[in-house]
Structure 1
């Protein structure tokens, strides 16, 4: 039964579904929690791919969604659907763009992926209404990611290419079971922030080992974007530490010092010389990472310009999802045929103004939720699960920045993070009376 439409503080309406007066449970059944844990653990398992670009983790996500829906229907809990406005615009933009572009079939896969990810977020948000469940989910991520990273490190040093993901096409870059090394590095960087936010494992020595494994995995991926993500997120965490320790003036001071030191370092070390040294070195990993920085930047700039040239062809409705490569092939001026590598531009070109509005609304919703979560005190169960919220915000900012040079819209781990943010925003605050008494 569809409940009333409520306007949530996240900047967009929040739909209440299956509303009943009495709930039949105080927590989720163990099978639901275990299925969600399994999906979180298997986030790196994108390969081997199946029909429709499906992957092993998609089977786990589907099982988690099914278990969640059965529990929700049986218990009658009030379901919240965050980001539904953004999802609606993105899906509508994809459908209208595909019809306007005369190619509806390629869009079906994108729309199906959108719907699955929407249900994945719905499941995460609503089971994490219970602080013990939220704690288990975030700690599962904080443990699973370093374990996967340790497996990658061992496989890389042991030359076990089937596990490390090293292929002849990618050189020595390790993508493990992800679709490519860039996606892998994005996950490792985000996971480092999850470990920092949860401060889990509880023993500091184990956390240090976790950071080392994650950092080495980023290095072995050879992803400049992953290194940028980690550097940006770490910089934000340092500024957040300065704010907590010294207040706003301290945070501003640290930011200024960091920017000045970064600028001075660039002038001192001269990146062009370092890149030339990396290209000339006998270390393949350096050649495939720092050594290709200018080439990667040039290719992405060229690709962005060529993709933007498709705006005239698509008009306000767009060309439809999964059509950029075919449309670039059809243009004689296109010298570099590839996907857009930019979610914001791709949304505008393929999903039109409607899809671009969806991306804009999604970013705005995340900003509003992140700002609220970072400023308000959390209820005891949630505060213990997430003792440091700054790394969570840093992970979100790094993910948003990554969308300017990768297509991250369908990264499962990215939507898992957005689901946890929405859960924290919906359920994680202290009661007003308790705040007043503090």
Structure 2
């Protein structure tokens, strides 16, 4: 007994393993992933990108942390997205392009694993604040880099391509992807209220708006208008109640209706085409052509669904099948909701409908959360994140945004805001 006690004393004096190392590593990897969100070029095998290095690191460190922390973990959106994954797997195996579909399913699994990791680390005290602030600051830096590159004519950083003309893609590879990222970034700056000093914050707004303009994307402008309208509606509801919110809706509807009556949209398109200004010609001027192309693609996609049946053709197969069957406009589905039907079948529609409903429910809870309490204490303006999520939900009707990494960042941040901190966790106020 004496010998045992003599051994215990020296052992007690030895330094214990440092706690929280895996947690800090997970948070750091997640923050770094926020920084590298727009860095999608150069692309690697399987549509991988440089940012995926930090996505994988976040998942790896999270697994280590989850295995050693003993904490209760959450997995939002797993059921609806899981239904979509299973539906896609069945459709892919039954379809004519199983290899293409299974690669997409693998990417789905990585995406949901990253979302689970991000959700759980973001619920740790102070981490949500760090993630939103990092996203906001880094997006301003990237937007400034793009603007400077456009001013000096540095094409590699502008991301100009022969196929897209003067539309600046930066390192995102697609003008619609780029515009969506800049829109979400602007709303993230608003939500996080970062930079802290308003002159720097307004400089950030200016750079991000400039970046949106450089993409020459009609969708980006529409997303901004939807987000701003929603924020105005929320502000009026909180100040004036339901009557004030309805008044804003009626006022906006009246202004838009009067404007379109005085100046028909077709006249605006003609004016834009004849203006000689690159931005107007390639944005507003081409809107009629873009709408016609999307209408044609919807018709072609419905033909695919009718020929391939209720199971769908398999994820990411639309373009290849349209080419093989000699359709005149062979493109990927420009619509998340239509793609769910044509590529994942009826069960895919069930999955995406559940995802929208769950996200909407969580967004409502995030908006109703008392300011300065719970996780709302870490985000100055939670309505900004909900507005960004709403804008992306609308964008999904004319473009496939569900696999945009930053869309899942929004989904996860809103889910965190809608949840309650664990017992014993002290969540601080934003500074």
Whether the TM-score (by the shorter chain) exceeds 0.5 is yes
Post-superposition Cα deviations, 1:132-166, rounded to whole Å, max 9, x if no partner, equal 11111111111111111111111111111111111
Structure 1 residue 417 corresponds to structure 2 residue 413: no
Q: Is 1:67 matched up with 2:61? A: yes
**Paired residues, number:** 407
Post-superposition shift, 1:184? 0.7
Equivalent position of 2:110 in the other structure:
116
Scaled by the length of structure 2, the TM-score of the pair is 0.90
Counterpart pick for 2:322 among 328, 331, 345: 328
Q: CA deviation at 1:379?
A: 5.8
1:287 aligns to what? Answer: 281
Q: Could you say which residue in structure 2 is the equivalent of 1:338? A: 331
Aligned partner (choices 43, 47, 50) of residue 49 of structure 1: 43
Aligned to 1:277: 271
> How many angstroms does 1:28 deviate by?
6.4
Instruction: Map 1:187-336 to 2 at 5 A.
Output: 187-332=181-326, 334-336=327-329
Distance in 2 between residues matched to 1:405 and 1:287, nearest whole Å:
20
In the alignment, the residues of structure 2 paired with residue 311 and residue 264 of structure 1 have an alpha-carbon distance, to the nearest angstrom, of 40
Is residue 351 of structure 1 aligned with residue 344 of structure 2? yes
Distance 1:416 1:40 in 2: 9
Task: Give the C-alpha shift of residue 378 in structure 1.
Answer: 5.4
| 1:27/1:130 contact within 8 Å kept | no
Other-structure match for 1:372: 365
CA contact (8 A) 1:343 1:406 kept: yes
Name the CA shift for 1:277/1:429 in 2 (closer, same or farther; >3 Å): farther
Q: Does 1:399 align with 2:399?
A: no
> CA separation in 1, counterparts of 2:105 and 2:112?
10
Give me the whole-angstrom Cα distance separating, in 1, the residues matched to 2:267 and 2:371.
48
SS in structure 1 at match of 2:200: helix
What is the deviation of 1:286? 1.9
Corresponding residue SS for 1:29: helix
Q: Deviations over 1:17-57 (max 9, x none)?
A: xxxxxxx9679633222111110100001111010110001
Q: TM-score, normalised by structure 1?
A: 0.89
Partners of 1:247 and 1:203 in 2: how far apart? 31
Q: Confirm or deny: 8 A CA contact 1:314 1:352 kept in the other structure.
A: no
CA deviation digits over 1:173-225, x for unaligned, max 9? 01100020110100111111111112221211112111111111111101101
Distance 1:84 1:243 in 2: 32
Structure 1 residue ranges without an equivalent (≥5): 1-23, 432-438
| Secondary structure class of the residue paired with 2:74 | strand
SS in 1 for 2:285: helix
**For residue 168 of structure 1, what is the aligned residue in structure 2?**
162
Measure how far apart 1:430 and its partner are: 10
Contact 1:132 1:381 in 2 (8 A): no
Check conservation: 1:143, 1:201, Cα contact below 8 A: yes
How far is 1:385 from its partner?
A: 2.1
Partner of 1:178: 172
2:101 maps to which residue? 107
> What runs of 5+ residues in structure 2 fail to find an aligned partner?
1-17, 425-431
Name the structure 1 match of 2:15.
none
Q: Take 1:122 and 1:331, find their aligned partners in 2: how far apart are those partners?
A: 39
Q: Distance in 2 between matches of 1:27 and 1:246?
A: 48
Over 3 Å counting, the alpha-carbon distance change for 1:205 and 1:348 in structure 2 is: same
Secondary structure of the equivalent of 2:360? helix
Query: Residue 377 of structure 1: SS of its match in structure 2?
Result: coil
CA distance in 1, matches of 2:154, 2:345: 44
Q: Distance in 1 between matches of 2:369 and 2:339?
A: 35
Contact 2:22/2:61 (8 A) holds in 1: no
Residue 7 of structure 2 corresponds to which residue in structure 1?
Answer: none
CA RMSD of the aligned region, Å?
1.9
Higher mean C-alpha displacement, 257-266 vs 295-304: 257-266
1:385 maps to 378
Task: After the TM superposition, list the runs of 4 or more consecutive aligned residues in structure 1 that deviate by more than 3 angstroms.
Answer: 24-29, 378-381, 427-431
Change (3 A) 1:378 1:65: farther
SS in 1 for 2:419: helix
